[in-house]
Structure 1
Amino acid sequence: MEFTPSKLGEKDVYKLLTGSVVPRPIAWVSTVSEEGDLNLAPFSFFTVASRNPPMLCISIGPGVGDREGTEKDTLVNIRATKEFVINVVPAPLGNSMQKSAENLPSDANEFAIAELTPAESHIVVPKRVKEAPIHMECELEQIIQLGSDHLVIGRMVHYHIEDEYYLGNYKVDLEKLQPLGRLAGNYSESRQFFKLPR
């Protein structure tokens, strides 16, 4: 089969992309509104953008469902405050992450809804998810509109990892972390690791 994206509907292209670009890591992004409302939402269009200086990027699409035609709270908050935290999602927190992904009013507190603990960050104002083992505090570098989506690039200004997940020499214990990823509309859990011969 072959497809020309310009001849397909947006949802069909989306299904091809999300079923092919896999597994995708999940950025569990915590922000705060100008009014002080806490916000937490997962995004699987996420990766490292730069090593030096360290930058991370997430792509945020438009609102869906009842909020179609609007911008997502995460984007609105980052644009306003220029700060956010990326929390890493281990498998045991999958259900909590899913609760925070629900289509909720702007003033809803996803931390409370998902029964998570907001923890003070070291540099930025948005809270960290205390239950998550890794947090990356970010200051906004730039937002680039790309078609229907917005690419948010943040500079990592502080990194936190729970001691039990740290192997030393700046390495993460991935077997213990068991990070969740996205596979089209499903999730994947990283459990098996191997090296390929050079």
Structure 2
Amino acid sequence: MKFDPQQLAVKEMYKLLSGSVVPRPIAWVSSISKEGVQNLSPFSFFTVASREPAMLCISIGPGVGEREGTVKDTLANIRDQKEFVINIVPTFLGNAMQKSAENLPSHIDEFEAANLTPIDSEKVTPKRVKESPIQMECQLHQIIELGTDHLIIGKLVLYHIHEDYYIENHKVNLEKLRPLGRLAGNYSENHDFFTLPK
């Protein structure tokens, strides 16, 4: 079988892409509006963009559902404030993350809605998720408009990791972290690790 993207509806192509590029890590992005309202939202189009300087990128699509035709709060906040935090999502925070993904009005604080604890960052204004074992403070480097989406590239300015998740020599204990991943419309729990035979 083969599919020409030009002959498919956007949603049809999205289903094929999101079911093929898996598992995807989740960036739980905290930002703040110019009015001072905190925002927290997950994005699974997320990866490392550069090693030196350390940069991360997320892709933010247009508003959906009743907010179709609008810009998502996260994008608006990053455009205005030029800062954000990427919090990593372990499996035990999955329900809270899902709550923060709901289409809530812009004046609602997702930290409160998801019963999470905001804590001060050190180099940026947006808060970090205290319950997340890994938090990465970022300053905006560039926003690239790509079709219907916006690619956000952020420079990592401070990396936080809870000591229980740190292994010596700058390694992360992935077996303890058990990061949540995205599989099309479902999720995956990453905890089975193995080395390929030589």
**TM-score clears 0.5:** yes
The residue aligned with 1:81 is 81
The residue aligned with 2:176 is 176
The residue aligned with 2:136 is 136
Q: How many residues align?
A: 198
**Counterpart AA for 2:72:** K
Displacement after TM superposition at 1:142 (Å): 0.3
- 5 Å-filtered alignment, 1:49-198, equals 49-198=49-198
Distance in structure 2 (CA, Å) of the matches to 1:65 and 1:9? 17
Distance in structure 2 (CA, Å) of the matches to 1:168 and 1:185? 36
Secondary structure of the residue that 1:99 maps to in structure 2? helix
**Counterpart AA for 1:177:** L
Secondary structure of the residue that 1:62 maps to in structure 2? coil
Displacement after TM superposition at 1:196 (Å): 1.2
Distance in structure 1 (CA, Å) of the matches to 2:173 and 2:41? 25
**Counterpart AA for 2:117:** T
**Counterpart AA for 1:118:** P
Unaligned ranges ≥5, structure 1: none
State the TM-score, normalized to the length of structure 1.
0.99
Secondary structure of the residue that 1:57 maps to in structure 2? strand
Secondary structure of the residue that 1:96 maps to in structure 2? helix
**Counterpart AA for 1:119:** I
State the TM-score, normalized to the length of structure 2.
0.99
Secondary structure of the residue that 2:95 maps to in structure 1? helix
CA RMSD of aligned residues (A): 0.5
Distance in structure 1 (CA, Å) of the matches to 2:165 and 2:122? 19
Distance in structure 1 (CA, Å) of the matches to 2:18 and 2:120? 34
Percent identity among equivalent residues? Answer: 70
Distance in structure 2 (CA, Å) of the matches to 1:192 and 1:50? 27
**Counterpart AA for 1:104:** L
Distance in structure 2 (CA, Å) of the matches to 1:102 and 1:30? 14
Distance in structure 2 (CA, Å) of the matches to 1:157 and 1:196? 34
Secondary structure of the residue that 1:191 maps to in structure 2? coil
Displacement after TM superposition at 1:122 (Å): 1.1
Unaligned ranges ≥5, structure 2: none
Which 4+ residue blocks in structure 1 deviate beyond 2 angstroms?
Answer: none
Displacement after TM superposition at 1:197 (Å): 3.0
- Per-residue CA distance 1:78-132 (angstroms, 9 max, x = gap): 0000000000000000000000000011111000000000000011000000000
The residue aligned with 1:39 is 39
Secondary structure of the residue that 2:34 maps to in structure 1? coil
